[in-house]
Structure 1
């Protein structure tokens, strides 16, 4: 009887771990796209964020060299 309980417990543990791994693979993934309306060299990320939000993205960041405004959206 103990063997069946141990197997069942191990099976449940496996399911919990598998579900946790599946969720972590999809959460937190961001995709990047250059801003279509930001002009010039990107110095202040706060300005980039405002432009990207106005374009419908979730956020933005100054990246690259020379720095340019990249907008963030969930993949």
Structure 2
């Protein structure tokens, strides 16, 4: 009788551990915003600094910008959330 009590306690402990590991990490899907890029109309020359590009893009009513490779040269692209 003592052996079956130990087996029942072990089985209960195993069940609790399995349930606890399933509850550990939530698996919610979160929607991520996409960035839309548009080539800057005011930026001239090769884009060497993303911070400079971002400041020019703010004058074009965009929240930010970054340097990206376009064809063979780095160009300033303004970005905003789509």
TM-score, normalised via structure 1 length:
0.64
Larger helix percent: 1
Deviating beyond 4 angstroms after TM superposition, the runs of 4 or more aligned structure 1 residues are none
Determine which structure has more spread, i.e. the larger CA radius of gyration: 2
For structure 2, the 5+ residue unaligned runs are 1-26
In structure 2, the residue matched to 1:70 is 77
TM-score, normalised via structure 2 length:
0.59
For structure 1, the 5+ residue unaligned runs are 1-16
Task: Name the Cα RMSD after superposition.
Answer: 1.4
